[in-house]
């Protein structure tokens, strides 16, 4: 499920590590936003902070939903299984969308490109 890749030229990160970090971060934010347990620092936040975290997640996943729709069309152009990529983009957002666009080439049919041999 996690991507493969080499170091990014701009920032020097390796994609699977970045995606893993985002998944761990999502788990922590879900924990802190939805569970209140006195005595544990991550779950002892005020209701205002927890509401802000939930609102932030809602905004992020609204953007991810838009990217997931675009992913469906990118999968058609690249002949990739949308049933894999759409959930991945819903979860990881732009990281997965860029992985699809940058690492998997567009497949052009010879009939569509106008080549006749």
DSSP 80-101: --HHHHHHHHHHHTHHHHHHHH
Instruction: Specify the 3-state DSSP secondary structure of 14.
Output: strand
pLDDT (tens digit per residue) in 72-95:
999 999 999 999 999 999 999 988
Boundaries of every domain in the chain? 15-110
Tokens at residue 75, please?
Answer: 């999968």
DSSP conformational letter for 42: G
Model pTM?
0.76
Q: Residues with Cβ < 8 Å from 50, sequence gap 6 or more?
A: 32, 33, 34, 36
Structure tokens at 26: 């999502």
Model confidence at 5, pLDDT cuts 50, 70, 90, reads low
């Amino acid at each position: 499920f996690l991507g493969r890749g080499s170091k990014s030229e701009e920032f020097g990160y390796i994609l699977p590590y970045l995606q893993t970090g985002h998944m761990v971060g999502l788990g922590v934010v879900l924990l802190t936003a939805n569970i209140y347990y006195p005595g544990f620092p991550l779950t002892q936040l005020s209701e205002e902070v927890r509401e802000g975290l939930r609102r932030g997640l809602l905004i992020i996943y609204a953007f991810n939903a838009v990217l997931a729709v675009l992913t469906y069309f990118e999968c058609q152009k690249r002949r990739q299984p949308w049933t894999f990529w759409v959930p991945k983009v819903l979860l990881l957002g732009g990281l997965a969308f860029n992985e699809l666009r940058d690492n998997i080439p567009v497949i052009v049919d010879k009939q569509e490109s106008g080549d006749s041999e």
